[in-house]
């Protein structure tokens, strides 16, 4: 996927998205912490899309938690494995991404790992004791993860 051949976007990125995209592609983008630029080609439209996301190392690849997935559609391109590029600074990582619903067994495993690393998210999801080493019941974890969507990227 060559981002220089990107076609026009139907809706176009927001002003903030354009700013972050430029920043993340710049030499200074490497200082962006967990924020990376995701580039992918839409399955239906064929258009190249870019958006900034929080992305973190996970297992042998990367993990993106889709915020408010019910109000977003971009992640649906990854319902089955699909090419993706992660960009930060002058580093681009090509890989394959797949969406994992929190309501699935794999999704609940990922959610447990995510909550263990992000105690604030665990508290907001109704799992306040994780930061003290408490293990949530399977029912509590299932309820907390039910509406979550993760994108798992394998380089």
In a domain, 3, yes or no: no
CATH of the domain at 44: 2.30.110.10
Segments forming the whole domain that contains residue 80: 13-154
C-alpha 24/C-alpha 129 separation (Å) is 35
In a domain, 62, yes or no: yes
Number of neighbours of residue 130 by Cβ within 10 angstroms: 21
In tens digits, the chain (155 residues) has pLDDT values of: 444 344 444 456 677 666 666 656 655 544 455 788 899 999 999 999 999 899 999 999 999 999 999 999 999 999 999 999 998 877 899 999 999 999 999 999 999 999 989 989 999 998 887 777 788 889 999 999 999 999 999 99
In a domain, 110, yes or no: yes
Token digits of residue 73: 């559609």
In a domain, 34, yes or no: yes
Domains held by the chain: number: 1
In a domain, 6, yes or no: no
């Amino acid at each position: 996927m060559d981002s220089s051949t990107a076609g026009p976007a139907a809706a176009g990125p927001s002003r903030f998205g354009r700013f972050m995209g430029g920043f993340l592609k710049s030499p200074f983008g490497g200082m962006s912490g967990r924020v990376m630029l995701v580039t992918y080609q839409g399955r239906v439209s064929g258009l190249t899309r870019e958006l900034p996301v929080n992305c973190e190392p996970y297992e042998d690849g990367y993990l993106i938690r889709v915020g408010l997935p019910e109000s977003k559609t971009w992640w649906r391109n990854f319902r089955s494995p699909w090419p993706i590029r992660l960009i930060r600074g002058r580093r681009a990582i090509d890989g394959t991404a797949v969406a994992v619903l929190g309501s699935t067994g794999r999704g609940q495993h990922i959610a447990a790992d995510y909550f263990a690393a992000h105690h604030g998210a665990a508290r907001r999801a109704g799992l306040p004791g994780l930061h003290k080493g408490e293990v949530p019941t399977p029912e509590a974890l299932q309820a907390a993860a039910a509406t979550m969507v993760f994108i798992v990227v394998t380089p």
